[in-house]
Amino acid sequence: MMLGLAALFASGPGLAQLVIAPPTPPPLPLEDDATLAFGDSDSRMTVPVSIGDRGPWAFIVDTGAERTVVSRELAGVLGLPAGADVRVTAMTGTSTVGTVIVPKLSVSTISQATIQAPALQSRHLGAVGMLGIDALQGHSVAIDFDRKQMKLRPSRRHAARMRAEPDEIVIVAKSLFGQLIVTDAHWRNIRIAVVIDTGSPASIGNSALFAAITKRPKALGPMEMTSATGGTLVTNAFAVDRLDIGGVGFSNVRVAFADAPPFRRFGLHGRPALLLGMDVLRLFRSVNIDFANREIRFRFPRAMMGVSVSGVGA
């Protein structure tokens, strides 16, 4: 099981600083098409999640994580019973962690009954919980960055691909362990495998990608990463001169490079690959991730059409 990146620069509230909001029943209603206003936690998205008949609490939406996670502190407040230990792979390594039994988890159209969720410390998560792709399967996640809104909709396989709007690009992805992997991405003529990772504030590339970039990237300095399990990884960030996703070109994109365990988990350690974080995703007006149809739609600002945009200063 793989968990996404939880925090950068050792960010996130300390244990003594954690404030868990009191329960506010009843739980969120389950609608066919609900719009959620999302908040921010270290430049990542949070949505209100209810557990049983209590909540809601702000959980980070992490499309790079295979499983939903509950903080140990919230599990203690709710009195959730312990489950079996499981092995999890985070950005800084693989470890064995305990789980808790969640009687029911609900947000918008999503309702999961009786799941075992890994229980991790909130100071490493940067929130009281994390919503993973196990909860998002069979749904589309439409993120509107202009309005700071998200829609979660049940999704079914289309008989034919839906046409793209004039200011939209549509990418068909491959599915691996429920994760969507984009292959229509390049550095110049070098193909890059891309994982959309809303749980990471920054974009992470592997050493195969760094080696493939023949034009030496501009160094931006060291970057410290703290994973959801509490491990720390220190690496370096660079400004990659060119990144193309579905035909849209970005210039000077900040990428930290590390051979993190998720690349091996997805079988991407030997080829150029990138975990695309929120720093690049926020350059689009909206991103729609449809897990049922293995489809990702990017809607970009009109100023971006046909031109490169700057991810960081040159």
How would you write the pLDDT of the chain (314 residues) with one tens digit per residue?
555 544 332 233 333 333 444 443 333 333 444 565 556 555 567 888 999 888 888 888 888 888 899 999 999 999 999 999 998 888 878 889 999 999 988 887 777 788 899 999 988 888 899 888 888 888 888 889 888 888 888 887 776 666 767 778 888 888 777 778 888 889 988 999 999 888 888 899 999 999 999 888 899 999 888 888 888 888 999 999 989 887 788 889 999 999 988 898 888 888 999 999 888 888 888 999 888 888 899 887 756 554 455 445 43
* pLDDT at residue number 75: 94
pTM above 0.85, yes or no: no
| DSSP letter, residue 77 | H
* pLDDT at residue number 32: 41
Q: Classify residue 211 as exposed, middle or buried by CB count within 10 Å of its CB (0-12, 13-18, 19+).
A: exposed
- Cis peptide bond prior to 118, omega within 30° of 0: no
DSSP assignment string, 224-285: EEEETTS-EEEEEEEEEEEEEETTEEEEEEEEEE---HHHHHTT-TTS-EEEE-HHHHTTSS
How far apart are the two ends of the chain, measured CA to CA in Å? 38
Q: Which domains does the chain have, with CATH numbers?
A: 5-141 (2.40.70.10), 165-310 (2.40.70.10)
CA separation, residue 244 to residues 28, 145, 252, 286, 309 (Å) = 39, 20, 11, 17, 11
In 3D space, the residue among 253, 259, 302 whose CA is nearest the CA of residue 276 turns out to be: 253
**Can you tell me the distance from the alpha carbon of 160 to that of 146, in angstroms, rounded to the nearest whole number?**
29
